Amino acid sequence: MTEYAAVPRQREPAEVVAELDRLNVWFPTRAGVVRAVDGVSLRIRRGETLGLVGESGSGKSTAGLALLRLVDPSAGTVRVAGQDVTRWSRRRLRALRRRVAMVFQDPQASLDPRRTIGASIAEPLIVHRLVDGAAARRQRVAELLDLVGLRRELADRHPHELSGGQRQRVGIARALAGEPDLIVLDEPIASLDLSVQAQIMNLLRRLQRDLGLTYLFIAHDLAAVEHMSDRLAVMYLGRIVETGTPAQIWRRPAHPYTAALLSAIPVADPQVERRRRRIILRGDVPSPVDPPAGCRFRTRCPQARAECAETDPVLVEVDPGHRAACLFAGDAVRAMSVTEPRRAGGSD
């Protein structure tokens, strides 16, 4: 667990903006201690997008929240701009939350229904006293609206008067207001219509190009994460199971879970869908209160062997910059791809 999910990219490595080091986030519940994040390390460098993929319960969102200290780490370290913020007081954290901003999944729910768009976007400016005077603030809000492609008049509207895509643009403008070092995008497109998803993804990429932004892009949609990210980390049950570039993960997944996830993504082509072999995982994700001993994926892994119950695999390099936490990294996936498709019904 000492491996970093992050690896230096080509050329000289850029400055590390934020970092999780062997982070645990455990929540006590009535049913026991939920190990939402369990030994996660990752680094985000200036100007890049790190994609964090996983299904519900994987801990990907909790890991994102930890970067703003919106959850309290049980163990490990959170570093932002070189400073260890793991034990910062409530008061000091307010300053951290200017450095790291967040965009939420549901743009409707993340905007106060009783406040105008302008007031929502201006809030970081007021809270951190970034702009003096109402006139200057209005001017800055107008610039932010321009930046995210919204008409300036919308500043006086309320959230319910906007479409879903427009609301998410407002969420992005609010995140930009404090000129943060890092923006955590938590499922920013998941609740939007397809055509609008594309608009928001293009906007996020354009903003990154123009303003040199750094993103942590959290999503369950592997295709979208792949499109957006420079590097990817795949999470399962509180752990990172595979990291690498999108191309590495997309073409040669090394962890059986990643392979199953990829094979489950439907492709908008009936010919391909009919021919493809799909790895259907058995059962459900085990409870994070009581994760399986050894490899956490072994209870659902089509290639699980006896050793998997004994050893908890760490991330090991399978290719330069491509790591997987599987005792049989690579081999297991190759073995799966020769198993027969179990797809019933349909024509063939």
Partner 1 sequence: MSDSPVLDVEGLAVTIGTRRGPARAVAGVDWSVQAGQTLALVGESGSGKSMSVLAATGLAPRTARVTGRVRLLGTDLTEVSPERRRRLRGRHVGFVFQDPMTSLNPVLTVGRQVSEAGEEHLGLTRRAARARAVELLDLVGIPSAAQRVDAYPHQFSGGMRQRVVIAMALACEPDLLIADEPTTALDVTTQAQIVELVADLQHRLGTAVVWITHDLGVVAGIADTVAVMYAGRIVEQGPVDAVFAHPAHPYTVALLAARPDPAARGADLVTIPGAPPSPWELPTGCAFFPRCPVRGDARCEHELPPLVPVSGRHQVRTFYPQATDGEDR
Partner 2 sequence: MSETTGRSSEGQLRRTLSALRHDPLAFTGSAVLVLLVVVGVAGTWLAPAGVNEVDVDRMLQAPSWAHPFGTDELGRDVLSRVMIAARVSLQVGLVSVGIALTVGTTLGLLAGYYRGWLDNVLMRCMDVLFAFPVLLLAVAIVAVLGPGLLTATIAVGVVYTPIFARVTRAGVLSVREQVFVRAAISIGASDLRIMRRHVLPNIAAPLIVQTSLSLAFAILSEAALSFLGLGVQPPEPAWGRMLYDGRGFVTEAWWLGVFPGAAIFLTVLAFNLVGDALRDVLDPRQLTVSEARRSST
CA distance 251 to 49: 19
Among 11, 114, 194, 210, binds partner 1 (CB under 8 A): 194
Binding partner at 112 among partner 2, partner 1, none, C-beta below 5 to 8 Å by kind: partner 2
Q: From the list 2, 11, 345, 348, which residue makes contact with partner 1 (rule: CB under 8 A)?
A: 345
Beta partners for 38? 24
CA–CA separation, 119 and 124 (whole Å): 10
Residue 140 tokens read as 């800055």
Structure tokens at 57: 């319960």
Tell whether residue 98 is a contact of partner 2 (CB under 8 A).
yes
On whether the CB atoms of residues 330 and 320 are closer than 8 A, the answer is no
Choose the contact partner of 81 out of partner 2, partner 1, none; CB within 5 to 8 A by kind: none
Told to check if 160 binds partner 2 by CB under 8 A, we report yes
Three-state secondary-structure class, residue 245: coil
Handedness of CA 73, 242, 60, 33 (dihedral sign): negative
Locate 15 and state its tokens.
């400055």
The owner of tokens 């994609």 is 51
* Residues paired with residue 182 on neighbouring β-strands, in sequence order: 100
Q: Does residue 150 belong to the site contacting partner 2 (CB under 8 A)?
A: no
Q: Is 188 in the site for partner 2 (CB under 8 A)?
A: no
Q: Confirm or reject binding of residue 73 to partner 2 (CB under 8 A).
A: no
Q: Does 314 bind partner 1 (CB under 8 A)?
A: no
Q: Which residues contact 50 (CB under 8 A, 6 or more apart)?
A: 5, 6, 42, 44, 215, 216, 217, 229, 230, 231, 232, 233
Q: Does 127 interact with partner 2 (rule: CB under 8 A)?
A: yes
Sign of CA dihedral 37, 40, 45, 48: negative
Residue 70 binds partner 1, judged by CB under 8 A:
no
Q: Binding of partner 1 at residue 264 (CB under 8 A)?
A: yes
Among 39, 57, 118, 124, the residue binding partner 2 under the rule CB under 8 A is 124
134 binds partner 2 (CB under 8 A): no
- Residues 78-117, one symbol each (x = binds partner 1 by CB under 8 A, - = not), give ----------------------------------------
Among 12, 132, 210, 284, binds partner 1 (CB under 8 A): 284
Work out which of 158, 205, 220, 227 binds partner 2, going by CB under 8 A: 158
Binding site for partner 2 (CB under 8 A): 68, 70, 93-98, 101-102, 104-106, 108-115, 123-124, 127-128, 158, 160-161, 163, 171, 174, 177-178
